[in-house]
Amino acid sequence: MRNGSSVSTRFGVPADYRPRQFSPLWQTSAKGWREQLAGALDRACGSSPATIFFRADDIGAGGRAFEALCRLFRHHDMPLGMAVVPAWLSDVRRTRLFAAAPVDESLWSWHQHGWRHVNWQRSGKKSEFGEQRPFEKQWRDIWQGRQKMEDLFGSHLVSVFTPPWNRLSNSTLRILHNLKFDGVSLAGPFPRGIKPPLPLVNLKIHVDLHTRKNRDAESDFNNLLEELSSLPGKKEPAGIMIHHQRMTHFAFEFLDELLCLFGDRNRARVMNFREILDKGANE
């Protein structure tokens, strides 16, 4: 087990950096967390390695945490799915985005994250593309988001749609099918009662690193270890979701160690989005 230098030195996060919002789990590092993490993965991956992918949400504004995230994945030579909110990308932000993660760099799976990341639900859980949103308005937003993404990313765009808050409706799926998207990425399976048009692939998220709700940091750390140790048993590639705006110094240190451990092919095979779509299309 290695003892790396601080995140601020290795990946450019200032020593005084502190996100506005973060889960209690990432407030301070748990005692012996590196050993616990390695032990959990070794026990889980003893018989067969996990097949996983990483997805970073809410991409568009850039900033220090985003730049550090890109350096981190580049340091480990690991692929990362970039869920980009199209309406957030001004010319200035696009320049900053591509300075941190050049569009033609093979590590990044650029794909569409809704349109504006706005909640249109009048009641219930948040969603930009929920059942309360008319079909025509959903179509308009997804179509114009798709056009902007194609203009900005060209052939580097991956035809996957990540809905904000990981929620969508039957109308959304019909639109995605008609616009010839190849996949969606949700936090779990398709919702009950929703029948996806084939061959729409779900790049399913199994672990949420940074938008966790548990207020007890110690119990949540144990929960996280259990979630990570369950990944080798998944039939499909298992997704790990990142929100860089909520990452503390400990969150960066943890992700650095996780990528280091997953760099051992005896523990995991880390896939990019195109590989997953190809795999899904051939099954």
Reported as a single tens digit per residue, the pLDDT across 167-226 is 999 999 999 999 999 999 999 888 777 776 667 899 999 999 999 999 999 999 999 999
Reported confidence tier of residue 233, pLDDT bands at 50, 70, 90: confident
Class of CATH domain 52-281: alpha beta
pLDDT at position 199 is 76
Find where tokens 């290695």 sit. 2
What confidence score (pLDDT) does residue 111 get?
A: 98
Confidence of residue 152 (pLDDT cuts 50, 70, 90): very high
Q: Which range is most confident: 14-18, 44-48, 158-162?
A: 158-162
For residue range 64-107, list pLDDT tens digits in order.
999 999 999 999 999 999 999 999 999 999 999 999 999 999 99
Give every CB contact of residue 205 below 8 A, 6+ residues apart in sequence. 55, 166, 185, 186, 187, 188, 239, 240, 241
What was the pLDDT predicted at 165? Answer: 96
**Arithmetic mean of pLDDT, 248-273:** 93
Q: What is the mean pLDDT of residues 250-263?
A: 95
Predicted pLDDT at 266: 79
The rounded mean pLDDT for the chain is: 91
**Distances in Å between the alpha carbon of 254 and those of 55, 209, 264, 272?**
16, 10, 16, 21
Does residue 3 surpass a pLDDT of 50?
A: no
Q: What are phi and psi of 205, to 5 degrees?
A: -85, 130
Percentage of the chain modeled with pLDDT above 90? 78
Please say if the pLDDT value at position 43 is more than 90. no
- Cα separation of 264 and 234, whole Å? 18
| pLDDT at residue 7, as a whole number | 63
**Lowest-pLDDT range, 4-8, 223-227, 274-278?**
4-8
More confident residue, 164 or 9: 164
